[in-house]
Amino acid sequence: MATLGQFLLGLFASTIPVDPSLANEIRSSIPPNPDPGFIFYHNLITSSLVFVPGVGLGWLTLIIWETGLAFSALGPTATTPVAGWIAWLGASSLPFFWLEIMSYSVAATASTMLLLTLLRDRRNILHEASRFLFELVFFIIILWNAATIELTETVDGIYFEWIFIVVLGLTVILAYSHIFGPHLRGQDWTVMGGFLLWLVLAKFLFVPLVLGYLIYFFWRRPAPELRGADQLALQVNPALPIP
């Protein structure tokens, strides 16, 4: 939800008229031939405060708002002028766009959950801290990969970017499930296969498909826990139904 919220906030901000001189300021701050290292460093420094509990959500809102305003300034002054919101939608068709805002969602979620744990459930602080570190590593990985693929210009290159992102996303889901749970069941693998099939047919639906799977995965009903008597009965007669 945080990812879609960022997308909608940026889209709204990109419709707001701004001073055209802002476009010149933005362009003058970008090197003629930026490399992945520059992009990664810039995004990392800009978004690092999102990991600070109590500050992260506000800072993330400001980042996305300013980014939307930048699109509003750059779109009409581009070589082929377009409205800012059209430029925003155009950028959203590229893999790096979603990788970046998904990384910000990871950071905001990590800081928010850590803050809630500190305020409400300090007994689980070590467990939540381990999640925080996992999400920090994940954040750095996907932010670096976003910077690496942002400079891809060919259609074939963009296609392979999407394949890479799918593999990366599924790897993270599997790793998270293995470390923190809930563990994948047979039904989960079936649903994942369905999402992948749709992805083959419409690869640019990567984000809603992955978000849909995450919603299903974390909000599905957990497997029923068997009581001692039920476990004993199943050991004696495995054909008995689970209550």
Q: What is the pLDDT of residues 91-114, one digit of tens each?
A: 887 778 888 888 888 888 888 888
Quick one: tokens of 32? 């003629």
**65: pLDDT confidence band, cut at 50, 70 and 90?**
very high
**Cβ pair 112, 56 in contact under 8 A:** yes
In whole angstroms, how large is the CA radius of gyration of the chain?
Answer: 21
**Alpha carbons 225 and 206: distance in angstroms, whole number:** 34
**62: pLDDT confidence band, cut at 50, 70 and 90?**
very high
Quick one: tokens of 46? 């800009």
**Cβ pair 151, 157 in contact under 8 A:** no
**196: pLDDT confidence band, cut at 50, 70 and 90?**
low
**Alpha carbons 117 and 138: distance in angstroms, whole number:** 20
**195: pLDDT confidence band, cut at 50, 70 and 90?**
low
Q: Which region holds residue 140: left if phi is over 0, alpha if psi is between -120 and 50, else beta?
A: alpha
**234: pLDDT confidence band, cut at 50, 70 and 90?**
very low
What is the percentage of the chain residues whose pLDDT exceeds 70?
A: 63
DSSP, residue by residue, 107-124: HHHHHHHHHHHHHH-GGG
Q: What is the mean pLDDT of residues 202-222?
A: 59
**Alpha carbons 204 and 207: distance in angstroms, whole number:** 8
Q: What is the mean pLDDT of residues 169-183?
A: 67
- Considering only residues 216 and 132, tell me which one the structure prediction assigns the higher pLDDT: 132
Quick one: tokens of 184? 């994948």
**Alpha carbons 30 and 93: distance in angstroms, whole number:** 22
**pLDDT exceeds cutoff 90 at 18:** no
**pLDDT exceeds cutoff 60 at 80:** yes
